[in-house]
């Protein structure tokens, strides 16, 4: 029987982390050199962790599926990274940052974790600057900040629209230094296929070398997953095409509980789907809503060109519904409102699945030059992809799957329910509750990688110093390797007619329609049936090209899609069980008379952590009740 | 539209490759170039053939994975555009499109259109970092950096490591890539401390890995999807000479 213990330290909120740091066990330097850590995923959080752990003297084996850690999808974060530096003297503080994240997450995150994330944010900025990250500066030479994501202070550090790229490259340079120093061994082009557990402890992984096709065994005293999110469940999303759930799913099947799987953020400003060949939805920065006005025609199916539609025939629906915040309502609210209009038949474009984001008034008021200075690169990107010039005609946008707040359940030490198995960054569930605020992801990822995991993992490893290097000849490695090989053989043996991508696209459509922006019991139950049917069809009709011992992209995709079926079923189960609306999770049955989300704190102020019970069995729910000792639960209103 | 594709097929690093010609019907001009290749692969797989291997991930021009030689030009030759940002509107019915992997001895072919660019990682590991352990950093605002310097550092730092500069260069020179990283750190006070060792180590590693020299044709700059400037190479040369002479040349 699994008993959830978040291991939150005693003491006042602001002192928990420093008290905890004082009390965790330490590993002496000579012993660190005898301990091996496996780290899967080398995006921002993984690279940061690898460099910090290497600096401390552990032996790190780091794995990624890309050809280089620099390619990880952290690279695509645009807007910025938050820190509570209060360089603007605008009243910001660690507490305010903490409060904004808790509230933005609709009170479904753990107070202690969030406070710690806010606390280490300041150190993180120091570290990134020391690593040579060229953040934007003022003429004084000091760092510039901007306001982001609907908060009232300017706490976002940024490097033009490429903050994620620059942060990742900074962490990657630190990782490179440890590779040169011999403390980190890098294994690129590897897919993690399974976790090896010996006597209840995570002791290794099974990987596939994506170039040679060889199945490999790697052992360590602890395993860290930094494998990102699974927004690609919708097929069309803002994520990189390679982003996947497989490593986290393998951990889940081996006993790591999966928390809040249905909490996926839908970003409101992405390019719409234009055709059936499209492979992804490119994100347009949220900052565009500072000056752009969102509207649809008042007349259903109005076929006129946008510039021919007069003011009186336009419905600026966000300004109409939310006069106080207008076009600047949070992501979840803006996304649902766009869907509502399109579903009601007012959407624009060939598919009717997009809304206008219009800069006409901003250009008239501020001049074209001013708009170009603010959004030039975004306008150019939009022009390149859509062929439309946004200086002359309104942009067309639509919401897209983006970030997964859900992930592997972890305690305060970032350890999953499997001893010695950790999850950091987007792969865990810890900090963002039911909705993530802008510029919060880079903050969490770098903080956990540089400063939190390297300390908390010592507490566990201190007890492992008498364990000699784990042999990969152990029978548990045999079993795991055989299971991995069997799965590959099974995929190839189907020899059907449809490509893995075809199935992924179809699965994505089901999830988008029934477990996307708006959910209801009937739809979710229908989706459960459809996903099950599609999964059965997959195992009867998928076509995987039979070149096992070589680079085989179709096999990689097939393995990932097979795991997406698992998480899809769990998402649906989770969404069904949470009969309230909160953050990104909107249950139609739970709304206020005027159509806004209705949270039910008396029944659902918990983390839903799911235990795997077998492929075709419903999973078992474990509740971690959330205790709010420092903040008062309030309704979010943007009217 | 209907097009003809001439694609480099190579089973693996050990075997010999060749061009194979394919007809492809039903291409929509709404596709991106890589979506056209996705569509092409789907038709091959459904007929029981082996799809063309090519590299991609973000599909929005920032990860640096994709990189194809298209009709003789790295990334297809459009201004500051990665292969994934290229659209089929650039082509017309009846076109023949030749697609090759990057051509450089330092980037051996792994399969079809995928090459091994790990040489870039190796150069960065020689010195493309600042030795600052986590926890040791002073407050981020302790060292002011002139805005012009921070902006210049940023402009050099936006390199995505795609390798188009090497592919476009007749000498397979990696000077644009290496100089961009050296410039980024040269502009920052945090990076100056190790500047003398950095430039020497990185240049030495670059030479060992089989990249050619620079003869100032400017092909790298012209094909760089991120607009990295040739002046980075001049700066690297200056840093290098200064380091070799045993003194750091004043920068401004």
For A578-590, the pLDDT digits (tens) are 999 999 999 999 9
The residues near A192 (Cβ < 8 Å, ≥ 6 apart) are: A40, A63, A205, A206, A207, A227, A246, A247, A250
Which domains can be identified in chain A, with CATH numbers? 268-401 (3.90.700.10), 475-625 (1.20.58.100)
Spell out the residues 6+ positions from residue A96 whose beta carbon is closer than 8 angstroms to its own: A84, A153
- Check CB contact of A141 with chain B, cutoff 8 Å: yes
A163 Cβ contact partners less than 8 Å away, ≥ 6 residues apart: A77, A78, A79, A80, A81, A135, A157, A439, A442
Binary contact (A450, B116; C-beta < 8 A): no
Collect all residues of chain A within an 8 Å Cβ-Cβ radius of residue B150: 134-137, 141
Closest-CA residue to A448 (of A420, A427, A469, A473): A427
Q: Check residue A149 and give its pLDDT.
A: 67
Mean per-residue pLDDT over chain B, rounded: 95
Return the closest-CA partner of residue A70 out of B146, B161, B196, B142: B161
On chain B, the residues whose CB falls within 8 A of the CB of A454 are 134
Give the tens place of pLDDT for each residue, B11-69: 999 999 999 999 999 999 999 999 999 999 999 999 989 999 999 999 999 999 999 99
Nearest chain A alpha carbon to B145: A141
Identify the pLDDT of residue B247: 58
> Domain check: are B189 and B147 in the same one?
yes
The tokens of A364 are what?
């008239």
Q: How far apart are CA A291 and CA A284, in angstroms?
A: 13
Q: Are B197 and B149 in contact (CB under 8 A)?
A: no
Domain that residue B203 falls in: 118-251
Interatomic CA distance for residues A314 and B222, integer angstroms: 45
* CA dist B13 → A550, A562, B113, B122, B189 (Å): 10, 30, 11, 20, 43
How confident is the model over B201-230, as pLDDT tens digits? 999 999 999 999 999 999 999 999 999 999
Helix (H, G, I), strand (E, B) or coil at B160: coil
A432-468 pLDDT, tens per residue? 999 998 899 999 999 999 999 999 999 999 999 999 9
Question: Using CB atoms, which residue from A70, A127, A278 is nearest to B134?
Answer: A127
How far is B175 from B237, CA to CA, in rounded Å? 10
The pLDDT value recorded for residue B252 is 45
Dihedrals phi, psi of B167, to nearest 5 degrees: -65, -35
Of A311, A126, A260, A299, nearest in space to A609 by CA: A260
| Longest alpha-carbon distance in chain B | 65
- The residue out of B58, B77, B111 marking a domain boundary is B111
* Structure-block tokens of residue B85: 């940002």
Which helix (DSSP H) or strand (DSSP E) does residue A236 occupy?
Answer: none
Residues of A in contact with B116 (CB under 8 A): 67
Residue A78: pLDDT band by 50, 70, 90 thresholds?
Answer: confident
Alpha-carbon gap: A625 to the closest alpha carbon of chain B (Å): 34
Q: Checking DSSP bridges between strand A81-82 and strand A156-157, what pairing results, if any?
A: antiparallel
Q: Do B123 and B247 sit in the same domain of this protein?
A: yes
CA dihedral A124, A125, A127, A133 (to 10 degrees): 130
Tokens 């910090």 belong to A52
Comparing CB atoms, the residue among A127, A132, A551 nearest residue B184 is A132
What is the reported pLDDT for B139? 98
Asked if residue B123 and residue B212 are part of one domain, the reply reads yes
Domain edge (last residue) among B78, B111, B144: B111
Give the contacts of A507 (CB within 8 A, at least 6 positions apart). A233, A235, A531, A534, A561, A564, A565, A568
Q: Are B124 and B105 in a shared domain? A: no
* CA atoms lying within 13 Å on the CB side of residue B166: 29
Q: Report yes or no: A135 at the B interface, CB cutoff 8 Å.
A: yes
Do B102 and B126 belong together in one domain? no
Instruction: Considering only the C-alpha atoms of chain A, give the largest distance between any 2 of them, rounded to a whole number of Å.
Output: 77
Query: SS3 for A179?
Result: helix
> Which residue in B47, B60, B117, B139 has the most chain A C-beta atoms within 10 A of its own C-beta, making it the best mutation to test that interface?
B60
Residues B125 and B240 placed together within one structural domain of the fold = yes
Instruction: Please identify, among B94, B111, B128, the residue that sits at the C-terminal boundary of a domain.
Output: B111
Q: Which of A132, A450, A547 sits opposite B130 (nearest CB)?
A: A132
Count of CB pairs separated by less than 8 Å, A with B: 208
Q: Which of A72-81, A180-189, A381-390, A466-475 has the lowest mean pLDDT?
A: A381-390
Q: How many domains does chain B have?
A: 2
Each residue's pLDDT tens digit, A317-366: 999 999 988 998 888 889 999 999 999 999 999 889 999 999 999 999 99
Domain identity same for B67 and B142: no
% of chain A at pLDDT higher than 90: 88
| pLDDT of res. A146 | 86
- For A:20-39, CB contacts with B below 8 A are none
For the whole model, what pTM was predicted?
0.97
Residues in chain B: 252
The yes-or-no answer on residue A578 being catalytic is: no
Q: Please write down the long-range contacts of A415-419, taking CB distance under 8 Å and 24 or more positions apart.
A: A415/A456, A415/A460, A416/A251, A416/A256, A416/A257, A417/A2, A417/A4, A417/A255, A417/A256, A417/A257, A417/A609, A418/A195, A418/A197, A418/A200, A418/A201, A418/A202, A418/A251, A418/A254, A418/A255, A418/A256, A419/A200, A419/A201, A419/A202, A419/A460
What's chain A's average pLDDT? 95
Question: Which of A170, A203, A204, A209 has its CA nearest to residue A187?
Answer: A209
8 Å CB contact between B22 and B5: yes
pLDDT tens per residue, range B162-196: 999 999 999 999 999 999 999 999 999 999 999 99
What is the dihedral angle through the alpha carbons of A39, A45, A51, A52, rounded to the nearest 10 degrees? -100
* Same-domain pairing of B29 and B80: yes
Q: Are residues B128 and B14 in the same domain?
A: no
ipTM comes to: 0.97
8 Å CB contact between B243 and B235: no
Joined together, the tokens standing for residue A397 give 């946008």
Same domain membership, residue B242 and residue B202: yes
Cβ A20 vs Cβ A426: under 8 Å: no
Q: A404: Cβ–Cβ under 8 A, 6 or more apart, which residues?
A: A229, A230, A231, A263, A264, A265, A426
* pLDDT tops 60 at residue A630: yes
Mention every residue, 6+ apart, whose C-beta is less than 8 A from residue A157: A80, A81, A82, A83, A125, A135, A136, A143, A144, A145, A163
Label residue A150 by pLDDT band (50, 70, 90).
low
Q: How far out from the chain centre does Cα A625 lie?
A: 23
Residue spans of alpha helices (H) in A138-257: 163-180, 246-253
**A27 pLDDT higher than 80:** yes
**Domain CATH number, residue B27:** 3.10.20.30
Instruction: Name the least confident of A56-60, A635-639, B48-52, B129-133.
Output: A635-639
Q: Which of B7, B120, B126, B106 is nearest to B64 (CA)?
A: B120
Cα-flanking dihedrals φ and ψ of residue A573, to 5°?
-60, -40
Q: What is the pLDDT of residues A571-628, one digit of tens each?
A: 999 999 999 999 999 999 999 998 889 999 999 999 999 999 998 899 999 999 999 9
Does residue B90 sit in the same domain as residue B122?
Answer: no
pLDDT surpassing 50 at residue B9: yes
The domain that holds B160 is classified in CATH as: 1.10.1060.10
B214 plus B90 within the same structural domain: no
Buried b (16+ CB within 10 A) or exposed e, A203-231: bbbbbbbbbeeebbbbbbbbbbbbbbbbb
């Amino acid at each position: 029987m699994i008993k959830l213990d978040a291991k939150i330290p005693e003491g006042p909120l602001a002192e928990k982390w420093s008290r905890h740091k004082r009390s965790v066990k330490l590993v002496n330097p000579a012993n660190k050199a005898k301990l091996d850590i496996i780290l899967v995923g080398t995006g921002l959080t993984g690279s940061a962790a690898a460099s910090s752990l290497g600096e401390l003297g552990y032996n790190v084996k780091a794995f990624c599926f890309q050809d280089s850690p620099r390619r990880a999808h952290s690279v695509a974060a645009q807007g910025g990274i938050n820190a509570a530096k209060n360089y603007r003297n605008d009243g910001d503080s660690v507490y305010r940052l903490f409060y904004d994240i808790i509230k933005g997450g609709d009170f479904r995150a753990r107070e202690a974790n969030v406070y710690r994330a806010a606390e280490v944010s300041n150190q993180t900025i120091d570290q990134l600057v020391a690593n040579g990250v060229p953040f934007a500066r003022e003429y004084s030479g000091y760092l510039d900040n901007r306001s982001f994501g609907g908060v009232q202070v300017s706490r976002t550090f940024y490097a033009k629209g490429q903050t994620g790229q620059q942060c990742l490259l900074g962490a990657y340079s630190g990782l490179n230094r440890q590779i040169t120093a011999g403390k980190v061994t890098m294994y690129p082009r590897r897919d993690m296929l399974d976790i090896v557990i010996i006597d209840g402890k995570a002791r290794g992984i099974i990987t596939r070398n994506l170039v040679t096709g060889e199945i490999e065994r790697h052992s360590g005293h602890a395993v860290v997953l930094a494998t990102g999110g699974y927004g690609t469940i919708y097929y069309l999303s803002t994520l990189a095409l390679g982003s996947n759930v497989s490593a986290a799913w393998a951990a889940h099947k081996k006993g790591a509980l999966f928390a809040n799987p249905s909490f996926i953020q839908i970003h409101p400003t992405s390019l719409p789907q234009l055709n059936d060949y499209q492979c992804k939805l490119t994100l347009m920065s949220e900052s565009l809503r500072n000056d752009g006005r969102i509207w649809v025609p008042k007349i259903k199916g109005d076929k006129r060109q946008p510039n021919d539609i007069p003011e009186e025939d336009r419905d600026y629906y966000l300004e109409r519904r939310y006069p106080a915040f207008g076009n600047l309502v949070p992501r979840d609210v803006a996304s649902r409102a766009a869907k509502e209009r399109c579903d009601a038949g007012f959407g624009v474009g060939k598919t009717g699945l997009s809304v206008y984001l219009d800069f006409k008034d901003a250009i008239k008021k501020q001049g074209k030059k001013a708009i170009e200075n603010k959004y030039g690169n975004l306008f150019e990107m939009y022009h390149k992809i859509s062929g439309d010039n946004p200086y002359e005609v309104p942009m067309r946008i639509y919401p897209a799957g983006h970030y997964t707040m859900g992930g592997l359940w972890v305690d305060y030490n970032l350890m999953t329910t499997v001893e010695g198995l950790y999850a950091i960054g987007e792969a865990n569930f810890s900090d963002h509750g039911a909705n993530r605020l802008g510029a919060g992801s880079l903050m969490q990822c770098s903080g956990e990688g540089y400063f939190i995991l390297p300390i908390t993992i010592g507490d566990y490893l201190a007890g492992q110093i008498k364990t000699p290097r784990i042999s990969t000849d152990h029978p548990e490695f045999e079993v795991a390797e055989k299971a991995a090989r069997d799965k590959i053989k099974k995929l190839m043996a189907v020899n059907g007619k449809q490509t893995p991508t075809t199935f992924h696209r179809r699965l994505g459509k089901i999830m988008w329609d029934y477990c996307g922006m708006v959910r209801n019991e009937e739809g979710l139950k229908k989706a459960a049936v459809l996903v099950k049917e599609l999964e059965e069809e997959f195992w009867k009709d998928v076509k995987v090209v039979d070149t096992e011992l070589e680079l085989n992209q179709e096999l990689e995709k097939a393995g990932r899609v097979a795991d997406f079926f698992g998480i899809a079923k769990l998402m649906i189960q989770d969404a069904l069980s949470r009969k309230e609306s909160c953050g990104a999770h909107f249950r139609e049955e739970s709304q206020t008379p005027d159509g806004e989300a209705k949270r039910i704190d008396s029944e659902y102020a918990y983390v839903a952590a799911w235990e795997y019970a077998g492929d075709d069995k419903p999973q078992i729910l474990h509740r971690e009740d959330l205790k709010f000792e420092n903040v008062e639960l309030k309704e979010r209103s943007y009217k | 539209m209907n097009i003809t594709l001439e694609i480099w097929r190579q089973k693996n690093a050990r075997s010999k490759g060749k061009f194979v010609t394919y007809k492809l019907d039903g291409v929509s001009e709404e596709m991106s170039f890589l979506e056209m290749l996705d569509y092409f692969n789907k038709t091959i797989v459904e007929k029981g053939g082996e799809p063309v291997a090519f590299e991609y991930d973000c599909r929005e021009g920032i990860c640096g994975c994709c990189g194809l030689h298209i009709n003789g030009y790295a990334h297809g030759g459009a201004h500051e555009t990665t292969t994934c940002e290229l659209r089929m509107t650039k082509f017309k019915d009846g076109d023949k499109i030749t697609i090759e992997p990057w051509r450089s001895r330092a980037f051996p072919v792994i399969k079809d259109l995928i090459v091994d660019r790990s040489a870039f990682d190796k150069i960065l590991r020689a010195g493309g970092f600042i030795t600052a352990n986590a926890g040791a950093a002073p407050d981020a605002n302790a060292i002011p950096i002139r805005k012009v310097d921070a902006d210049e550092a940023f402009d050099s730092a936006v390199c995505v490591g795609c390798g188009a500069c090497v592919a476009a260069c007749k000498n397979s020179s990696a000077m644009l890539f290496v100089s961009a990283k050296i410039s980024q750190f040269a502009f920052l006070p945090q990076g100056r401390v190790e500047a003398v060792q950095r430039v020497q180590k990185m240049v030495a590693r670059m030479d060992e890995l089989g990249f050619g020299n620079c003869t100032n044709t400017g092909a790298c700059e012209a094909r760089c999807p991120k607009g990295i400037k040739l002046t980075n190479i001049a700066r690297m040369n200056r840093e290098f000479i200064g380091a070799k002479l045993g003194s750091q040349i004043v920068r401004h």
